[in-house]
Homo-oligomer: A and B are copies of this chain.
Amino acid sequence: MAIRLTDVANEAGVSLATASRVLNGSARKPAAEISDRVRAAAEKLGYFPNAQAQALARASTKLVGLVVRDIADPYFSTIARGVQRGLGDSGTQLLLASTDSEPEREIEAVRSFMSQRTDAIILSGSRGLSEDAALLRLIGSYQENGGQVIVIGQPLASTGGIQIDNETTSENLAEELIRSGHRRFVVLAGDENLLTSRDRAQGFLRKLKRTGLSAVGVVHGAFSREGAYMAMSDFLRGRKSEEDAQQLCVFCVSDVMALGAIRAIRESGLRVPEDIAVVGFDDIPTLEDVTPGISTARLPLEEIGRWAGEMVLSHGEARKTVVAGTPVLRESTKLHAGNR
């Protein structure tokens, strides 16, 4: 087996307690000469503290759990990077779980993190409308036992976190688009059971209504690239050949969905933005490499993750922060003269 602290103590000719005091900042400071001997012994033997044993003896694990829907999705991987940056060199390790959008897997993940006695759990996958009772109960008991819960996205009554003001952001985005001249909108609203999805669609639609406009169409589907691809394909198939109408602008409730929609538009032989304009939401890094540049609402994804990580470290008492996105209009929503 591996080298134990006891071995190091023996090698250095000191007691277990002293070795322990030397190898981790304890209040009591052993003599310099003794310390050196212990450190030398540890080095020589190749000692590694057993984190499990430490966790058991102390009360903390220096572990934090991050729950995402899909780590390969740029939205989540960017946040994940931020979290790691936020954790910095605090020695805190990140436990990652992906849910594939399945609520039961999210519960499973939280349950597992609870077993691991993580000091904190960061929930970044958007929650559903129905405040899943089982999840809430779990979270509650986790908090009662001293666990910190940080939610990214929609706030959860009892927890701290970074709230994203999806509704207002969508309203502002709609406003900018209208100002730029767009009038005919279609909303790819994603999954109506997800808060994020719903809030973004509602905010957008509300602004339209207030401006005296109404959406040409609202299409639901999965909150993913594939979901948007299918939704858009269906929509295109369904509409009459009204090519002479004013340019359409498709608002997708996420950039990833915008990417799927564009794919569908192109496959049906149309161009973006000449035939149909497209807007997304999030401003994922991927957009930097896509042409035409896709209009969107910029969210400081990496920073959001970093804040979450920092919150964990600061043991902040359920601090809440609200972030709104900034509309960024690029080529994908450029009005095409011939289509006005």
Q: What are the residues of chain B within 8 A of A48 when measuring CB–CB?
A: 111, 114-115
Identify which of B56, B94, B145 contacts A97 (C-beta below 8 A): B94
Q: Does A230 contact B (CB under 8 A)?
A: no
Closest CB-CB distance, A8 to chain B, in whole Å?
A: 14
Closest CB-CB distance, A3 to chain B, in whole Å?
A: 9
Q: Does A71 contact B (CB under 8 A)?
A: yes
Convert A142-172 into 0s and 1s, putting 1 for each residue whose CB lies closer than 8 angstroms to a CB of B: 0001000000000000000000000000000
Indicate if the CB atoms of B96 and A96 lie closer than 8 Å. yes
Identify which of B70, B74, B84, B114 contacts A98 (C-beta below 8 A): B84
Q: What are the residues of chain B within 8 A of A61 when measuring CB–CB?
A: 52
Given contacts A56-B52, A74-B74, A81-B71, contact A112 B141 (CB under 8 A): no
Q: Does A55 contact B (CB under 8 A)?
A: yes
Closest CB-CB distance, A213 to chain B, in whole Å?
A: 29
- How far apart sit A111 and B263, CA to CA, in the bound complex (Å)? 44
Identify which of B51, B56, B97 contacts A117 (C-beta below 8 A): B51
Binds B, one of A30-38, A284-292, A317-325: A284-292
Please tell me the size bucket of the interface on A.
Answer: 35 or more
Q: Does A95 contact B (CB under 8 A)?
A: yes
Q: Does A80 contact B (CB under 8 A)?
A: yes
Q: Does A262 contact B (CB under 8 A)?
A: yes
- How far apart sit A95 and B96, CA to CA, in the bound complex (Å)? 6
Query: A67-93: which have CB < 8 Å to B?
Result: 70-72, 74, 77-78, 80-81, 84, 91, 93
Closest CB-CB distance, A236 to chain B, in whole Å?
A: 18
Identify which of B70, B72, B145 contacts A74 (C-beta below 8 A): B72
Q: What are the residues of chain B within 8 A of A74 when measuring CB–CB?
A: 72, 74, 77, 286
Q: Does A116 contact B (CB under 8 A)?
A: yes
Indicate if the CB atoms of A112 and B97 lie closer than 8 Å. no
Indicate if the CB atoms of B288 and A263 lie closer than 8 Å. yes
Q: Does A259 contact B (CB under 8 A)?
A: yes
Given contacts A46-B141, A145-B1, contact A51 B81 (CB under 8 A): no
Q: What are the residues of chain B within 8 A of A50 when measuring CB–CB?
A: 56, 115, 117
Closest CB-CB distance, A168 to chain B, in whole Å?
A: 27
Q: Does A53 contact B (CB under 8 A)?
A: yes
Q: Does A2 contact B (CB under 8 A)?
A: yes
Indicate if the CB atoms of B84 and A77 lie closer than 8 Å. no
- How far apart sit A149 and B145, CA to CA, in the bound complex (Å)? 35
- How far apart sit A262 and B53, CA to CA, in the bound complex (Å)? 51
**A positions within 8 Å CB-CB of B:** 1-2, 46, 48-53, 55-56, 61, 70-72, 74, 77-78, 80-81, 84, 91, 93-98, 111-112, 114-117, 141, 145, 259, 262-263, 285-286, 288-291, 302
13 pairs, A vs B, C-beta closer than 8 Å: A1-B145, A2-B145, A51-B117, A52-B53, A70-B81, A71-B81, A72-B80, A72-B302, A74-B286, A80-B96, A96-B96, A259-B289, A262-B289
